[in-house]
Structure 1
Amino acid sequence: MNRSIASGVFSVVSSKVVVLILTAVSTPLLYRYLGAAGFGDYAFLMSVFAIYMIFVSSGITDGVRKFLAEDRREANWSEHVVGFYFRLAVILAVLGAGVMMWAASNGVVDAAFGSELTPYFYVLAVLVITAQFRDYARKTLMGFGLERYSEPLKILDTVGFIFVAIPLVALGFGVTGALAGHLVASVLVAVGGLVIVNRRVSLSCVASLPSREFPRKQMLTFNTMSIALVFLLMSLYHIDIVMLQQFTSSDDVGNYRAALTLAEFLWFVPLAIQTVFVHSTSELWSRNRREKISELAARTTRYTFLLTAVMAVGLAALADVAVPIYFGDEAIPAIAPLLLLLPGSLGFALARPVLAISQGKGTLRFPVAATGAAALINVVLNVALIPTYGMVGAAVATSIGYGTMFAFHCWSARVVGFDPLEDARLLQSTITTILAGIPIVALATTISNPWLALAVVPPLGFVIFVSFALLVGALDPSEPFEILAYAPGTVGSTAESVQERIEETIGAHPPLGGVQWLLFLTGLSLLFSGFVLGFLGAELEFMSP
C-alpha cells in the first residue's frame, strides 16, 4: 500500500472511529427514548430511505469520485466532471423528492406500509434533497483526494444529528425528532462541503457545458451499473428489516436492528478501505498496474480478516453482558440474532475491499453479477425463514447472504483481472481465530462481573489474538510495525525503524513447519484456557461483588 492510499485510509479510519464512538453513545439513547417499537419504526424508515436513495444518488456519488480521480489530460476535466454530476444531482433530487411527496399524498405509502407511517414520508421527501447534496459534496472532495476535508464533514453529520435528534426524541417528538436530526445535519454538511468544493473548482462550472467529446455515455453507463450494484448491495443491508416489519412486531424489528448495529461495528475499517480504494485504485487501473493491485488486494484481505475476526470473537464472547449494558434489558432478545450474524459479517467485511478494487476499474458487470448472486440467496432465504422463525430466521438468512459475498467476489476479482487471495493466508488466519478464540471465550466466561469483563477481555484478547497470529504465520513479525509506519509523525518514523531492525534480525531464520506449529499452538491454547479457568478465574471471582 503506498503512502497516498495509506494516508487516505488513515483519514477515513480516523473519522470512522470518531463516528463509531459517537454512534455507540447515541444509539442506545435512541433505543431507550424511542422504545423497541419506536426504534423499530425508525430503523424501518431509514432502511426504506436508504433503498430509495440508491436510485437518486448512488450513480452520482460513485461516478464523481471515480472520474475525478482518473488521470486524464482533457482540458478542464475536473470542472466538467463536477458540473456534469452537479446538474445530474439537481435533476434527480427534485424528481426523487417529488415522487416521494406524491406517494405520501396519494395513498401509495398508506397502502404499502400503513397510515401511521405516512406522515414521516413528508419529512423524508425533504431529506432526499439535503442528503443528495450532502453526499455529492463529500464524494466530490474524496474524488479530489481531499479526505482531510470529507471525513471531518462525516463527523459533523453525526454530531449534528446527535445534537438535534437526541434532545427532540427525549422531549417526546419520537421518530419525527430523529428524522429532523438527519435533516439538519445533512444541510450543515451540504453547505460546508460545497463551500470547500468551490475553493477547489468554482461551482460556476455548473453553467458551462463540455464539448461533444466529453464521455457522457461512459459516465451514464457507469452510473447505471453503479445503481444496480448499490441496489443489490443495499438489499443485503435492508431487505431483512423491511420483511420483518411485514411479518413481525415493531419490537422484534427494533431488537433485530440492535443486533445489526452491533454486528455492523465490525465493518468500520473494511468500509473505510472500500471508501478510499474506489478512487485510489482507479489511478492504478488507468496505469495497468495489475501486479500492484493484486498485492494490495491480498494484503488488505489478510489484514481485514484478522482485524474483523478478533472483533467478532470478542463480541461473541461478551454478547451476554454487552447487549444488556448497551441497550438495556429490553434488548436481551437481540443476543441470539447477533451471534448468528457474526460469521456472515466476517465474510461481508472481506468482500468490501475486493469489491472496491473492482469498482475502481469501472467494469461493473462482474461485481454486479457477484453481488446479485449473494443478494438473491439472501432474499430467498429471508422469504423462506422470516415468516416461521422471525428474527432468528432473518439472522440466519442474512448471515449466509453476507458470507457468500466474499466467495462470489473472489471469482469476480479474478475475471476482472486481479487475485485477492495471492498472499491472503486464509488458512493461517482461520487457525489463529480458532486457537485464540478458546482462551478469549474462556476468559469472558470466567469473569462474572460484567463491567470487569468489558474492561479485561478486549485488551487481553487482542494481545492473545495477535500473539497467535504471529506464531501461526498469519502476520509476519515486522508487519504490525509496517502498518504503524504509515502513521504520521514520531509514531510512524519509530515504527519504521523497528520494522527494519526486525526484518534484519529474523530474515535468515526459517519458520517451523505447519504441523509442528499447529500441535504446539493447540497445546498452548488449551494450557492457557486451563490457567484462565483456574487461577485467574478464582482471582477475578474474588474481586467480583
Structure 2
Amino acid sequence: MNRSLTSAILSVASSKFVALILGIIASPLLYRWLGEVDYGAYVTVLSAHSLFMIGVSTPIADGVRKYVAEDRDDPAWERIVVGFYFRLATLLAVLGAGVLGAVTYLGFFEWLWREEFTRYFYVSIALVLTAQYWPFARKTLMGFGLERYSESLKVLFNVSFVAVALPLVYAGYGVVGALLGHILASGLVALIGLVVLHSRQSLRGALETNDGMLPKREMMTFNSLSIVLVFLLMSLYHIDILMLQAMAPADAPGHYKAALVFAEFLWFVPIVLQTVFVHSTSELWSQGKVEQISEVAGRTLRYTCLITAVMALGMAALADVAVPIYWGPGSEPVIAPLLLLLPGAVGFALARPMLAIAQGKGQLRYPIVATGAAAMINLVLNAALIPTHGMHGAAIATSIGYGSMAIFHLWSARKTGFDPITNARYGRVAATTAVAAIPIFLMADALSMPIGIPIVGTVPISVFVVPPAGLLVFLAIAVLCRALELTEIVRVLTEFPEPIGSMARPLCRRLRNADDENRLLRYF
C-alpha cells in the first residue's frame, strides 16, 4: 500500500464527516416526522438487523479486508481471495434472507414486540441482500489501500439514503419508508461498488473454484472468531435498544436512541482510526514491526482521548440548550440519558483503536475475552436496571459497559503483544481535561442569553461560541500541560487538502528545526 497512514485516515475521515453532517440533518427530521414511538420502532428494527447481519456479513467484510491487504508472494493472491469471498458473500446472503423470512413468517417479532414488526421485517428481507454486497465492495477496496474510492461509496450511501428515505417518511410511509431508503441506497451503492472493484480486480475470478492455495483453515478460523467478536461488540450497541422495546414504555426507545445519537458523535475520530487500522496494522504485523505498532497505538490513544474529552465537555456543558434545539419540543427526556452515557462513550472511544490493532494481527482470542467481559457487564446491568429505572437505567448500564471496554482492551493489547501506553501521557491528558472543564462550563453558563435566528427561533449565544472557543482553550491547555505538542498539530495539518496543507508545510519544517520544546514555544 503506497499511501501514508495519515492520508488513509483523512480519506476515511472525509467520508465519516459527510456521513456525520447528513446524520445531523436526517436524524432530527426522522425523529419529528415519525414520532417517538415509530422512531423507536425504526431504530429497533435497524438494531435487530445489525445483529442478524453479523453472521451474514461480518465473515466477508473483516476477512476480505484483512487478507487482501497482506503481502504474499503469489501474484494471483488478490484475485483468488476476492473470488473466494465473493462466492461466500453470495451464499450467506441467500441463506440469511431465507432464515429471516422463515423467522418472520413464524411470528417471532410479533411475539417479542408488537404486530407491526412483522411487516417491518418482511421489508427487511430485501435489505439482507443489498446490505451484503456494498460492504463487500467497500472493504475490498480498503484492503487494496483505495480509501479514496471505498469512502466515496460510503458518502454515496448516506446521500442516497437521505434523498430517498426523508421524502418517503414525510409523505406518510413511516417506518417502511425509512427502511426502503436503506434498501434502495444500499442496492445502488452495491452495484456501483462492484463495478469499481471489477475495474481494479476482475470479478471473473469469482466463478473460479481453483483456490486450493488459500489458507482456508486459517481464514475460516479468523472468520468465525470475527463473528464472535463483532457480535459481542454490536451487542454493546444494540442490546439496550432491544431490551427497552420489550421492557419499557413505547416512547422510551425513541428518546434513548436520540441520546445515543448525541453520545456516539464522540466516536467520529475513533471509528475512523478503527476503520483504517485493521488493514494498515495487518501489514505491519506481517512485517514484524511491533515497536512501530506500539508507538502508533500510544500516540493514537492520546489523540483519541484528547479529542473525545473536549467533545464530551462541550456536549455536557451545552446539553440543556442543544438537545431541545436539535431534537425539537418535547425532547427534554433525552438530556438525562445523554449525560449518563457520556463518560462511558469516552471509554469506548479509547478501546476502539486498541481493538482494531489487535484485529490486524489476526489473533482474536484476547480481544474476544475483553469484549465479552464488557458485553456481559452491559447485558446483566441492563437486565437489572431497565425494569426499575427505564431508559435512565439503560443509560447507566450501557455507560458502565462502554467504560469497561477501555480497561479490558488495555489488558488485551498487552496480551496480544503491543503496548498502547507508549507515549500515551494519560496523566497529562487527565489534567488537561480537568483544567479545561472549568472555563468551558463557565463560558456555557455566562453566554446563556438568547438571540433570534430566522426559522430556528431563539438560540443561546453559547451554542455558537462555546464549541470553537472551548476547542481553542482546550488545545492551549493541552500544549501547556504537555499532553500535546505544537509540532503534532502542524504535522497533521500538512496532510490536509490545499491550501491548508501547503500553508502548514513550511511551518512544520521550521518547527522541526527547533532544538527543544522551550525554543519551539518561544517561536510561537
Q: How does the TM-score come out when normalised to structure 1?
A: 0.92
What's the counterpart of residue 11 of structure 1?
A: 11
2:520 corresponds to 1:494: no
Alignment of 1:104-253 (within 5 A): 104-253=104-253
2:468 corresponds to 1:463: no
Letter in 1 for 2:302: R
CA distance in 2, matches of 1:26, 1:455: 21
1:479 paired residue among 483, 488, 493: 488
CA, structure 1 residues 506+447, in 2 after alignment: closer, same or farther (shift >3 Å)? farther
CA distance in 2, matches of 1:292, 1:492: 25
What's the counterpart of residue 42 of structure 1?
A: 42
What's the counterpart of residue 410 of structure 2?
A: 410
State the Cα RMSD in Å.
1.5
What's the counterpart of residue 271 of structure 1?
A: 271
CA, structure 1 residues 99+211, in 2 after alignment: closer, same or farther (shift >3 Å)? closer
Deviation by residue 1:76-116 (Cα, 9 ceiling, x = unmatched): 11111111101110111001000111111122222223322
What's the counterpart of residue 395 of structure 1?
A: 395
CA distance in 2, matches of 1:489, 1:511: 25
Alignment of 1:274-289 (within 5 A): 274-289=274-289
8 A contact 1:36–1:330 mirrored in 2: no
Q: Compare 502-511 and 478-487 and name the one that shifted more.
A: 502-511
CA distance in 2, matches of 1:149, 1:328: 36
2:334 corresponds to 1:352: no
CA distance in 2, matches of 1:498, 1:27: 40
Count of residue pairs brought into register by the alignment: 511
What's the counterpart of residue 527 of structure 1?
A: none
Letter in 2 for 1:302: R
8 A contact 2:81–2:214 mirrored in 1: no
SS in 1 for 2:73: coil
CA distance in 2, matches of 1:457, 1:509: 30
Segments of structure 2 that go 5 or more residues without pairing to the other structure are: 451-458
What's the counterpart of residue 340 of structure 1?
A: 340
CA distance in 2, matches of 1:167, 1:489: 36
8 A contact 1:3–1:486 mirrored in 2: no
Letter in 1 for 2:360: G
Q: Compare 440-449 and 24-33 and name the one that shifted more.
A: 440-449
8 A contact 2:262–2:338 mirrored in 1: yes
CA distance in 2, matches of 1:425, 1:207: 52
CA, structure 1 residues 106+508, in 2 after alignment: closer, same or farther (shift >3 Å)? closer
8 A contact 1:15–1:151 mirrored in 2: yes
Alignment of 1:288-307 (within 5 A): 288-307=288-307
Alignment of 1:349-388 (within 5 A): 349-388=349-388
SS in 2 for 1:71: coil
Q: How does the TM-score come out when normalised to structure 2?
A: 0.95
8 A contact 1:304–1:350 mirrored in 2: yes
CA distance in 2, matches of 1:486, 1:134: 28
Letter in 2 for 1:458: P
Deviation by residue 1:91-144 (Cα, 9 ceiling, x = unmatched): 110010001111111222222233221111111111000000111111111111
8 A contact 2:80–2:211 mirrored in 1: no
2:106 corresponds to 1:97: no
CA distance in 1, matches of 2:400, 2:514: 44
What's the counterpart of residue 323 of structure 2?
A: 323
Measure how far apart 1:503 and its partner are.
4.0
8 A contact 2:11–2:148 mirrored in 1: yes
Measure how far apart 1:213 and its partner are.
2.7
8 A contact 2:241–2:257 mirrored in 1: yes
Segments of structure 1 that go 5 or more residues without pairing to the other structure are: 513-545
Measure how far apart 1:491 and its partner are.
2.5
8 A contact 2:141–2:147 mirrored in 1: yes
Alignment of 1:57-96 (within 5 A): 57-96=57-96
Deviation by residue 1:251-307 (Cα, 9 ceiling, x = unmatched): 111000000000001111110110010001111000000010000000000000111
Measure how far apart 1:210 and its partner are.
2.9
Identity %: 56
What's the counterpart of residue 523 of structure 1?
A: none
What's the counterpart of residue 524 of structure 1?
A: none
SS in 2 for 1:72: coil
What's the counterpart of residue 517 of structure 1?
A: none
SS in 1 for 2:330: helix
What's the counterpart of residue 455 of structure 2?
A: none
Deviation by residue 1:417-468 (Cα, 9 ceiling, x = unmatched): 1111111011111111111111101111122223411111101000100010
SS in 1 for 2:461: helix
Measure how far apart 1:510 and its partner are.
8.8
CA distance in 1, matches of 2:308, 2:6: 19
CA distance in 1, matches of 2:45, 2:211: 42
CA distance in 1, matches of 2:112, 2:353: 36
